[in-house]
Amino acid sequence: MLTPRDRIRPKMAPSIRDIVIPNYRRLLLRRRCPSQSVACRLLSSSTSYPSPPPPSAPIDAGSSIRKPISLWPGMYHSPVTNALWEARSRMFERALGEGENTAASDLSAPKRPSRSRTSIMYRFSEDYVLREQYRNPWNEIRAGKLLEDLDALAGTICFKHCTNENGAMRPLILVTASVDRIFVKKPIHVDTDLKIEGAVTWVGRSSMEIQLEVSQSTPESQDQFDSVILTANFTFVARDSETGKSVPVTPILPETEREKILWEEAEERNKLRKRMREDRRQYIVSEEMTHRIQELMAEGRVFSEMPALADRDSILIKDTRFQNSLICQPQQRNIQGRIFGGFLMRRAFELAYATSYAFAGAAPRFLEVDHVDFLKPVDVGNFLRLHSCVLYTELDDPAQPHINIEVVAYVTRPEIRSSEVSNRFYFTFTIRPEALTDGLRIRKVVPSTEEEARRVIERMDAEVPRSTDQ
């Protein structure tokens, strides 16, 4: 039953809370709404710090569920993205109002990594509403929503780094350029508190790298090192808001020993990426590549020319394909008007998960995201097509077979008969142990065209350097 106060309260636009929470619970949560929003707390942490700066309090991931949300883009995403984008939009609006009056020296002075450090706390153990938003059908966390949150946090950290002490910044656009390999060290529980923390660790001329750590303490892992279950490195680039050309970003000044080590590691990764791109160009036209392509295609030819003799434990890549299409809506945009990179990662992950599920015949378990390049921006109104396939399987370890999924995103413009690749995503899954004990077998996947064989070889070779990371 509504109280008199509820009867006179003006009606508001529907929000995520109206969908998730029954009326009686919504009224209860509304009464215990925090007095200070997540955005205000985040912005207050971006003011000038004494030396050394005190650590900022973690953001409460569930706070944005329990308060009215205005009609801005983030409200259609996860609660964490809501909170981060609300803070970022206020920084962005303040920057527009004060940017012209800001001295260039204020924005070009090097900043400490601690200046941008931000953390988020998911209080799954006590927040039922938040826990239910992140739960998948197998009582584990929805990894696609977590990837979306990681991109949102990385973007907010970039904004904090590029603003001065008064909240002003140059008229620039910060966009996700790439994501390095994300490896999940252990399963992520949805009923145990989770924390994400990150900061800018490296800055080039117009690009910066943000390292994020996801930690979750369990009775088996009490110390900080063992509780880190996922590390992600995002690279953002700065573009002029009018010309679209690259612009310099605020330098970074590592101070502690750990900050210096992280800077050196990021510098080495940046050099390695450039070296691998050059090596790949030379290798693509080599005789060794041609020989490996022919070897891979040998079994595929049997499927085409002698299908009755084909290996029943193998399947062609083309027979594992799935796809879906969507029109990019305004609700999926970021504060700069383009489609949010985290949204693209989540949609790609969900298609990859479904592809792996249909291929294996059992619910898969997410292991990692390989390197992702955001090749072209995706705008509101674009017709986006996502194509997935099982690129290859790794069956050396029968207890943990690996299923490698490729998802390619195409921006299609039917009116001009154009289709361009905007993103390529590579995900790796395995099968739950209980399914393998029931005699489930994973099939080998083979290419039937030279293009498929080339993509398989490139992905296999991309995995070689990462053996040292683990």
Q: How far is CA 33 from CA 41, 65, 81, 86, 460, in A?
A: 15, 9, 18, 17, 50
| Separation between Cα atoms, residue 355 and residue 406, nearest integer Å | 10
Which range is least confidently modeled, 50-59, 162-171, 264-273, 347-356? 50-59
Mean pLDDT of 360-371: 91
Which range is least confidently modeled, 5-9, 155-159, 308-312, 447-451? 5-9
Q: 166 pLDDT band (50/70/90 cuts)?
A: low
Residue range 69-128, pLDDT digits in tens: 444 444 455 667 676 766 666 665 655 555 445 444 455 678 899 889 998 899 999 988
| Separation between Cα atoms, residue 229 and residue 324, nearest integer Å | 31
Place of tokens 């080599």: 286
Residue range 186-237, pLDDT digits in tens: 889 899 999 999 999 999 989 999 999 999 987 666 666 678 999 999 999 9
Backbone dihedral region for residue 27 (phi beyond 0: left; psi -120 to 50: alpha; all else: beta): alpha
Judged against a pLDDT cut of 80, whether residue 62 lies above it is answered with no
Query: What local confidence, expressed as pLDDT, does residue 106 receive?
Result: 55
Q: Which helix (H) or strand (E) holds 271?
A: helix 257-284
Residue range 370-389, pLDDT digits in tens: 888 888 888 888 899 999 99
Backbone dihedral region for residue 48 (phi beyond 0: left; psi -120 to 50: alpha; all else: beta): beta
Residue range 265-299, pLDDT digits in tens: 988 888 887 777 666 665 555 677 777 888 888 88
Quick one: what percent of the chain has pLDDT higher than 70?
Answer: 71
Q: What is the pTM of this model?
A: 0.76
3 state DSSP class of 241: coil
Please state, as a whole number, how many other Cβ atoms lie within 10 Å of the Cβ of residue 159: 22
| Separation between Cα atoms, residue 266 and residue 275, nearest integer Å | 14
CA atoms within a 13 Å half-sphere pointing along the CA-CB vector of 111: 31
Backbone phi and psi for residue 382, each to the nearest 5 degrees, phi listed first: -65, 145
Query: What local confidence, expressed as pLDDT, does residue 169 receive?
Result: 60
Query: What local confidence, expressed as pLDDT, does residue 389 receive?
Result: 97
Q: 356 pLDDT band (50/70/90 cuts)?
A: very high
Judged against a pLDDT cut of 90, whether residue 426 lies above it is answered with yes
CA atoms within a 13 Å half-sphere pointing along the CA-CB vector of 425: 29
| Separation between Cα atoms, residue 402 and residue 390, nearest integer Å | 11
| Position with higher pLDDT, 331 vs 358 | 358
| Separation between Cα atoms, residue 84 and residue 39, nearest integer Å | 7
Quick one: what percent of the chain has pLDDT higher than 90?
Answer: 33
Q: What torsion, rounded to 10 degrees, do the Cα atoms 275, 409, 343, 148 define?
A: -40
Judged against a pLDDT cut of 50, whether residue 461 lies above it is answered with yes
Q: Rounded to a whole number, what is the distance in angstroms from the first to the last CA of the chain?
A: 56
Pairing outcome for strands 314-316 and 444-446: parallel
Which range is least confidently modeled, 58-62, 96-100, 173-177, 258-262? 96-100
Query: What local confidence, expressed as pLDDT, does residue 283 receive?
Result: 56
Please name the residues in contact with 143: beta carbons below 8 A apart, sequence gap of 6 or more. 184, 188, 349, 353, 366
| Separation between Cα atoms, residue 91 and residue 163, nearest integer Å | 8
Query: What local confidence, expressed as pLDDT, does residue 174 receive?
Result: 84
In the predicted model, what is the mean pLDDT of the chain? 77
Which range is least confidently modeled, 147-151, 376-380, 437-441, 462-466? 462-466
Query: What local confidence, expressed as pLDDT, does residue 140 receive?
Result: 87
